[in-house]
Amino acid sequence: MTNRTPPQLSRVLFWDTDYDKIDWDGKARYVIERVVAYGFMEDWRAIQRYYGMERIREVVLQARDLDPKTLSFLSLIFDIPKEQFRCYTQIQSNPGHWVY
């Protein structure tokens, strides 16, 4: 357990959770994925300071669901081809519904 000060993130990102009871270290994957998907740039900078780029990189590479814009942003930031992200390979293997 660390004694670091929790990141100051937008509370609206965690509308379904009691913000004051979030385990920032134990639920890092949840926090990072939520910020990456819905956060503001200030939230992005806060998780960079708190978790570090390497930890964020590990989490986003294993994320199951990222929208195309977020995937492009992360691919550019980390200089990693989209094909190396788990969400990209899952999208390719799960075709969408038929369009009538």
DSSP string, 53-75: HHHHHHHHHH-S---HHHHHHHH
For residue 20, pLDDT over 70 is answered with yes
For residue 92, pLDDT over 60 is answered with no
36 burial via Cβ count (<10 Å: 0-12, 13-18, 19+)? buried
pTM: 0.83
CA 54 to chain centre: 13
d(CA 80, CA 27) in angstroms, rounded, equals: 24
pLDDT band at 88; cut points 50, 70, 90: confident
